[in-house]
Structure 1
Amino acid sequence: MKRNLLMGISAVLITVLIASCGLGGGARRGASGDTIVVGSKNFTEQIIVGNMVADLIEAHTDLKVVRKMNLGGTSVCFEALKRGGANNGIDVYVEYTGTGLVNILGMEAITDPDKAYETVAKEFKDRWNIVWLEPLGFNNTFTLAVKEDFAREHKIETFSDLEKISDQLVLGGTMEFMERPDGYPGLKEKYGFKFKETKSMDIGLRYTAIANDEVQVIDAFATDGLLVRHNLKILQDDKHFFPPYYAAPVIRQDVLEKYPQLKDILNQLASQISDEEMQKLNYLVDGEGKEAAEVAKEFLKEKGLI
């Protein structure tokens, strides 16, 4: 009887150990190695969609999610992705096809959206074993913007129209835009801009600067919510310099191999966010002062995704 009692205790102890080590089924929250690190770049839209990615993983898995939002620019996030979450980096973030193509791969711009996506998907997989999941739906292309009344007064509709009077104007742009080959350097070469002055500034200061007439032209993203708030006009890229910038999650292949369910979970966001919806979400944060994490969660609930 004593032997049977000892065997029973041993069996219980083994069962407890198996459960605590996560060997008795799927991934357990907080278990060693069962953590996904989600990152984002340092602007509103990125923080919103980064939180969407994190929320989806939390809602549909038992994985522990660590959020590293507002990390920095493209190079910071991409280097963090290459390191991986286990090495003080990240495992997944949302990137843009045009940025991947020109800024990361150093390739020529491709204007066809499908071809651009196919190219970055292949090259990222071949070079770094990083997977592009399905695009979220919106195209956050770079653009230039001026005040609506300024555009009417000077009859400006296109970048070419703007070029004709660029020597009288000051351009304000983010530091990344002023340096990237798919930003101002390439744009200047394509259109021949000769601005009276260019100013590099923090991403949030551009709209204040144009509102205060410190600059007359700013770089912008097509889905910026503050375009509406400040009554700005998006100018037409009539020579088609900027490639498409469709947003999509990029994730390490080794993470997908370990947690294959993440592919279907994150692809629930595919084609769910239009340009207009993304602009509205950005405006809720930048224009109405709501928290990006709250805006992200509410959107997912409205779509029935969580």
Structure 2
Amino acid sequence: MLADLIENKTDIKVERKLNLGGTQVAFSALNSGELDMYVEYTGTGLVNILKKDAVNDPDKVYDIVQKEFNENYSLKWLKPLGFNNTYALAVRQDTANKYNLNTISDLAKISNELTLGPTIEFPNRPDGLIGLSKTYNMNFKEVNAVDGGLRYTALNNNKSDVIDAFSTDGLLKAFNLKVLKDDKSFFPPYYAVPLIREDTLKKHPELEDVINTLADKLTDEKMRELNYRVDSLKESPAEVSKDFLKKEGLLD
């Protein structure tokens, strides 16, 4: 979306680097100048990059990362895109019904009977299983990490009982999963925000206004629907993105 907007509104040609992997790869590339911008999550910036304790107030998180990224890395967070892609734990409907699960506290009570099938990153993140286990006193029978979207298939095939998800995952809708309420507010806010190098903005000051036209345009529901179109209906991300921008009246 950012690339389409920039090419539509300016004379700048954008090189799209796709599938860079996790935050560490993308952030290192941005910090070294190999990338000019990418979309990061405020909670990830706070906990994983700045190594700070989780904060639950979205505005405070934004203010902290804005100030410290500017001072330490000469990077600028632009305006949030609107959706909060926070972590969630999800189970099949039959599991939820069997144990009467509505919250993560409910899950913690019977976690020693269940297998967690998380993403590869989740067990080792302080804002993932490490902190979650301490906060909720939770101890799964087994933890079998699975790559990306395959964890949904594993859950559906009864190879696992619980997965970590992101609140905007289209596959939550596709597999009709029950998302458990984070009743102790453990997971920090993960608002998606374009993160850009200050020297790139100095070179192309028009970028800030162009990118900020996307501010608050993507709700959780809209993002889940777009992800559903890509993950389940197998539409191309490029076409889904362009279609969204046209419907929002953001492309000339």
Displacement of 1:213: 0.3
TM-superposed deviation, 1:181: 1.0
Match of 1:221 among 166, 188, 194: 166
SS in 2 for 1:219: strand
Give the corresponding residue for 1:190: 135
- One of 233, 236, 239 as aligned partner of 2:178: 233
* CA shift for structure 1 position 236: 0.7
Kindly report which structure 2 residues correspond to 1:29-68, keeping only aligned pairs within 5 A, or say none: 52-68=1-17
Which structure has the bigger radius of gyration? 1
Q: Which amino acid aligns with 1:176?
A: E
- Residue 108 of structure 1 deviates from its aligned partner by 0.8
Alpha-carbon distance between aligned partners in 2 of 1:229 and 1:296, rounded to the nearest angstrom = 20
Q: CA offsets, 1:146-178, max 9 Å, x none?
A: 012221221111111001110010001111112
RMSD over aligned Cα atoms: 0.7
> In structure 1, what is the Cα distance between the partners aligned to 2:142 and 2:21?
26
Match of 2:63 in 1: 118
Q: CA–CA distance in 2 between the matches of 1:95 and 1:240? A: 21
Name the amino acid aligned to 2:30.
L
1:103 aligns with 2:48: yes
Q: Which residue in 2 is equivalent to 1:47?
A: none
Aligned twin of 2:91: 146
Q: Partner residue of 2:226?
A: 281
Match of 1:212 among 135, 153, 157: 157
> What is the number of residues matched between the two proteins?
251
CA distance in structure 2 between the aligned counterparts of 1:57 and 1:180, rounded to whole angstroms: 34
Q: After the TM superposition, which residues 284-303 of structure 1 pair with which residues of structure 2 at under 5 Å, given as runs? A: 284-303=229-248
1:117 aligned counterpart, secondary structure = helix
SS class of match (1:64): coil
The Cα offsets for residues 35-58 of structure 1, whole Å up to 9 and x where unpaired, read as xxxxxxxxxxxxxxxxx0111111
Runs (4+) of structure 1 moved beyond 6 Å? none
Q: What amino acid is the match of 1:196? A: K
What residue number does 1:49 align with? none
Is 1:69 aligned to residue 38 of structure 2? no
Partner of 1:83 in structure 2?
A: 32
- Give the letter for the 1:71 counterpart: L
Name the TM-score, length of structure 1 as normaliser. Answer: 0.81
Give the aligned partner of residue 217 of structure 2.
Answer: 272
Between the two structures, name the one with larger relative contact order (CA 8 Å, sep ≥ 6): 2
Tell me, in whole angstroms, the C-alpha distance in 1 between the residues paired with 2:3 and 2:18: 10
Residue 247 of structure 1 corresponds to 192
Percent identical across equivalent pairs? 57
Cα deviation 1:105-142 (Å, max 9, x = unaligned)? 10011101111111111110010000000000000100
Structure 2: distance between partners of 1:225 and 1:169: 24
Q: Distance in 1 between matches of 2:173 and 2:12?
A: 38
CA distance in 1 between counterparts of 2:95 and 2:111 reads 13
- SS of the equivalent of 2:242 reads helix
What is the letter of the counterpart of residue 285 of structure 1?
A: V
